[in-house]
Structure 1
Amino acid sequence: MNPNPSFTTIANPLAHLEAIVQLLREPFLVLDDSFHIKTCNPAFCHVLEMPVTAILDQDFFGLDQGQWDHPPLRALLMELKEHQRAFQDFELCQSFSRLGDRTFLIDGQSLPQEYPVETTMLLGIRDISDRKRAELKLEEFNRQLIQSNRELQDFASVASHDLQEPLRKIQAFTDLLATELGADLSETGRGYMDRIQNAASRMQTLINDLLSYARVTTKANPFVPIDMEQIVAEVLSDLEFPIQQSQATIQVDTLYGFEADPLQIRLLLQNLISNGLKFQSCDRPPQIRISMEYLTANANFADANATDTADGIQLRVQDNGIGFKEKYLDRIFGIFQRLHSRNEYPGTGIGLAICRKIVERHNGTITATSDLGSGATFIITMPVKQPVIPSL
C-alpha cells in the first residue's frame, strides 16, 4: 500500500477537505476561484453571528452587506488566486454594522493545483479584537504613565528649587531674629519664633520626603546585580548615631544577591530600619532582625545557594516595637498616612509610601504582620531577575 497517496486517490476530495476544516478551532473557510465560499467551519459562523446556510455559496466580498470588501484584502486575494502568493497576518480593522469594531488577522494559502476540486483558496481568520483593545488600553496607560512621570519630574524640579528657596530665607531670617533679638523678645514672642522655626523645619523635611517619593520613578537607576551585605552595612553605618542613641540591637542574617536598583534598595532598608528605631517600645530597647530567603516558583524556600533555580527573594525586617493593628495594614503604606500624632512620633507619613513605591518599581510586593505592642515584621518579595521591558 502506498503510504503517501496522491490527491487523486482520495474518493471524495471535497468531503475530505471539509472534514479537516470542521476540526479547526479558528475561523476557517474555503473559496473557489470566483471567491465564493465553498465551506466554512462553526468558528467562522460564530464570528459572523450568521448561520452556515447564510454563508455557503456566497460571494466572500458580499458578506455582511459588502463589509468584507476591503481593497487591500481584495488585492491580496487576487494575487493569491492568480500567482499563488500566500500571505499571513493581514490585519483587517473594520467597523461592522452588526458586529461593531472588530480586528481580524487573515492568512491566505492556495491549494495545490493537482487537488481535484474547484476550490482554490484557504483562508484562516483570527478575531483579535479583544487583544487589540487590550493593546490600545496598555498604550494609553503607558502614555498616561509617561505624562505622570513628566509631571513628577516637573514637581521635583520645582520642589528642589522654587519651593526650597523661600523656605531657606524663612529659616535664615528666623535664625537671625532669634540670635539678634531673642533676648528682647517676650516669652510669647519667643514662643512664636519657636513655632515658626519648627514649622519651617517640618516643611523642609516634608519637601525632602516628597522629593524622595517622586525620585523613585523620575531618578531611577538601571537594575543591576547587588551586594545586599554591603548595602545593609552602609545603611547601618549611616544610622550609627540613632542606633547607639536608642541602644538598639541589629541582627543581620545571611543575605543574598539579586537584580535591583542599589540606591533604592538602600533607601528601602533605611526607611524600614528607621521605623523600627522610631517606633520603639517604652519598656525595652529596639531589636531589629534583617533576614532573607530565596524563593522558588511554588513559593517554597529554595536552597540558599541555588541562585540559578530561585525565582524570587523574600526580605524580612522584624522589630520589637509598638506594632500596630493589622486592620490598618493598607493605610500605613499610603502617602501622608499616620497612625500616631506628630507629637508622639515625628515624621511626615511618607516613609512607608516610598517603600511601597520602590518595591512596586521592582515588580514586587510589600506587606507586614503585626499586633499592637508586639512589634512588626515587614515582608518584601521581589524577583531575582527583573524582566526586560521594551521601550515604547
Structure 2
Amino acid sequence: MSPPMTTPLQGIEDAQTLAQAIVDTIHEPLLVLDAQFRVLAASRSFYAIFQVDPAQTMGRALYSLGDGQWNIPALRVLLETIIPERAAMDGFEVEHDFPGLGQRTMLLNARKVIYERSANTTILLAFTDITARRLIEREKEELLERTAELLAQQQTLLQEMQHRVANSLQIIASILMIKARAVASEETRQHLRDAHQRVMSVAEVQAHLHASGGVDRIEVGGYLTKLCGSLAKSMVDEDRPLALEVIADAGQIGSDKAVSIGLIVTELMINAVKYAFPVAKPDARVLITYASAGDGWTLTVADNGVGKAIDLAPTKRGGLGTVIVEALVKQLGATMEIRSTDGVTVTITHPATLQVPEAA
C-alpha cells in the first residue's frame, strides 16, 4: 500500500504564512479585510506608502484607521454597495487626501473571497496610485485645448490677412482701370488693362481661398470657372461677343500653384482677345480644359480664331504675356506645346510623379 500523499501546507498556520508572504510580495498596497471591514492583513507596501504603523492597523476597522482618514465616502460605496452586489470591482477611481500622501488619485481593485467550508468572507483591496498619470493626461488635454485655441487664432488671422489682401488687390485693380481711362495713349491704355487682368486673376485666388475657409488646396474646376467669368465681364465687348467655356475634373491643387495657373489662363485669354478674333465672329469661343491624374495635370486653352504662325526660333521672343507664361510654366515644372490649326491651342502638361511600388 502506497504512503499517503503530503502537501507543503500541513495546517492552517502554513496556509496563513503563505498567504502573508504573497501579500508582502505584491508591489502595490494591498489590504485583506473581513466582512466587517477589519484589517486581517496588509502588505509591506501599504505600510511603507501610506506611512502607517502595523500595530495601529491590524485588527482595526478600515474606516477608523488614522483618526478616521480612511472613512472615504467613495470607498464606503465600493465596499458596502458595489462589492456585495458584484463580488468584484476593477478600476474604481477615488480622488482623496490620503493620510501620509496628500491629494492623490487611486484606482481601487476589490475582490470578495467566499470559502467552501466556511461562512466567513474576506475582501481583497488593492490600491494603484495614478496621480502622475492623471496629471499628464490633464496637461495633455490642456495642451490640446491651447493648441486648438492657437489654431483658431491663426485661422482668424489668416482669414483677416486674406480679406485685407483681397481688398488691396481690388483697390489696385480699380486704380489701374481709372488710369487706363485717363491716359491718351491707346498702347498705354492696353498695357494698363492687361495689368488689371493680371491683378484680378490673383484676386480671384484670394476670393476663392476666403470662400473655402482658407484651405491650402483649391478645387481647380470651380476656381477656373469663377476666374473666367470675371475675365469675361471685363474683357469681352458686347459688340464682339466671345464665349468662354471651362471643362475641368474634380482635381485639386495647392493655392500657390493655383495663382500660377490663374495667371497663365489670364495671359492666354488676353492673347486670344487681342489676336484670335480681329473681326467679329458669331461663334467665337475659347475653351479651357483641365484634367488631372494623381499629382499630374494637363491645362489646355484653345480658341477657334484665325490662328497665327508659330516661330519657335530661340532668337524670337514674344511680348510680355509670352514671357510671363513661359516663366510660370517653368516655375510649375511643366511643359508647354502650342499648335495653330483652326485657331491656337496651348497645352501645358505637368507629369505625374512616379510612384515607387512598395516591397512585398
- Given the two structures, how large is their TM-score scaled by the length of structure 2? 0.49
Q: Relative contact order, CA 8 A, sep 6+: which one is greater?
A: 1
Which structure: larger Rg? 2
- Given the two structures, how large is their TM-score scaled by the length of structure 1? 0.45
